[in-house]
Amino acid sequence: MRAVIQRVLEASVDVDHDNVSRTGGGLLVLAGFHRDDTEEDIEYIINKILGLRIFDDERGIMNLSVTDVGGEVMLVSQFTLYGDVRKGKRPSYSSAMQPENASEFFHTFVDTFRTRYDRVQEGVFGADMRVSLVNSGPVTILIDSTKLF
Q: List CB contacts of 117: < 8 A, sequence separation 6 or more.
A: 50, 66, 67, 73
Given 33, 55, 79, 113, which residue is catalytic? 79
Any catalytic annotation for residue 80? yes
Any catalytic annotation for residue 79? yes
β-partners of residue 131 are 13
Query: What is the SS3 assignment for 54-86?
Result: CEECCCCCEEECHHHHCCEEEEEECHHHHCECC
Given 6, 23, 78, 121, which residue is catalytic? 78
Given 38, 80, 98, 108, which residue is catalytic? 80
Q: What residues are annotated to the active site? A: 78-80
